Amino acid sequence: MAYAWHIGDVAQIDPLTDSLVGEWLSLTEVAGRLGLPANKVKQLLRDRKLLAVTRPDGNTAVPAAFLDGKQVVKGLPGTLTLLSDCGFGEDEALRWLFTADDTLPGTPIDAIVSHRGTEVNRRAQALAL
């Protein structure tokens, strides 16, 4: 089944950020993995519980790392909200989440997946100061 996605302005990311993320999922794939209809996935995007961007190839996608089986990674929505409140655009948030940080260690998204979101959020808040 094909879906027509109309979610407003979606940030275009640069090739470097695209390569940092690695694996991407189309919005249709996200709907399938979460077992949700298209309108519910669009609502997750509007509510900043997920983040989608336009990749250099012109396709709109979500990082595969944002999903854990049939759900959004626990703690991710709060971090996305915090990054937005700190002034990060979608492209900047993705770049930050997928850039290695020796103090974590690993990337912020790796730490969130490993249930260390509090550490990630502290670092994000410090960037806003």
Tens of pLDDT, residue by residue over 28-81, are 999 999 999 989 999 999 999 999 998 888 888 999 999 999 999 999 999 999
In a domain, 98, yes or no: yes
In a domain, 10, yes or no: no
The whole domain housing 116 covers 15-128
| Residues 40, 67, 98: CA angle, nearest 5 degrees | 120
pLDDT at 102 over 90: no
Contact call for residues 55 and 18 (beta carbons, < 8 A): yes
In a domain, 36, yes or no: yes
In a domain, 19, yes or no: yes
In a domain, 76, yes or no: yes
Burial (CB < 10 A; 0-12, 13-18, 19+), residue 79, is buried
Contact call for residues 54 and 60 (beta carbons, < 8 A): yes
The reply to whether omega before 105 is within 30° of 0 (cis) is yes
In a domain, 63, yes or no: yes
In a domain, 39, yes or no: yes
In a domain, 56, yes or no: yes
Least confident piece of the model among 3-7, 47-51, 97-101, 115-119: 3-7
- What pLDDT, on a 0 to 100 scale, did the predictor assign at position 129? 57
- What pLDDT, on a 0 to 100 scale, did the predictor assign at position 120? 94
Number of domains in the chain: 1
pTM of the model: 0.87
